[in-house]
Amino acid sequence: MATFAFQSTSNAQSYKNAIGGRFGAANGVTFKTTLGGNKMIDLIANFRSNGNYSYFRVTGLYEIYNPISNASGLNWYYGIGGTVGSVKYKPHNESDLYLGLDGVLGLDYKFADAPINLSLDWKPAIGLVPETDFDASGVGLSLRFTF
């Protein structure tokens, strides 16, 4: 049986900035930048549309990274943040402000010999406005160019 030991270091991730796409329940653009040490900010602009509504949202996440021992370039991370955006209800053509609180838990991998980063995470959200709800469907895969 294999086990992974988790450890913290002062510089867990191996890149300073990354930009690319996020794909999953909501598709969009993601930009990560380091705050120093093992902390990063992830900004996500995404959209979702179905038969009843469409929305555009911008999410900011404060994330803490921790390397996984014996797996160079692989980190696990967690964090919290918030979302602001707009939702448009298609049958009535009405729009509302959207505000929410977000969490995130995921894995982040930076390829050693290429400026490529992959992240797979779960981003549950609590909608506050226009109505209170819980959305647990926030699984996403991000592919980014690092610099």
- Is the overall model pTM greater than 0.85, yes or no? yes
Domain range summary for the chain, segments of one domain joined by +: 19-146
As its CATH architecture, domain 19-146 has: Beta Barrel (2.40)
Assess whether pLDDT exceeds 70 at residue 73. Answer: yes
Distance CA 108, CA 66 (A): 10
Close Cβ partners of 113 (under 8 Å, ≥ 6 residues apart): none
**Which pLDDT tens digit goes with each residue over 51-69?**
888 899 999 999 999 999 9
pLDDT in tens, 96-134: 999 999 999 999 999 999 999 999 999 999 999 999 999
State the average pLDDT over residues 8-32.
84
* Long-range CB contacts for residues 117-126, cutoff 8 Å, separation at least 24: 117/15, 117/18, 117/20, 117/32, 117/142, 117/143, 117/144, 117/145, 117/146, 118/142, 118/143, 118/144, 119/144, 121/77, 123/59, 123/61, 125/83, 125/100, 125/101, 126/100, 126/101, 126/102
pLDDT at res. 113: 94
Tokens at 81, concatenated: 């943040």
pLDDT computed for residue 12 by the predictor = 62
Answer whether residue 93 shows pLDDT above 90.
Answer: no
Q: What is the pLDDT of residue 23?
A: 96
Query: Does the pLDDT of residue 1 top 70, yes or no?
Result: no
pLDDT of residue 6: 38
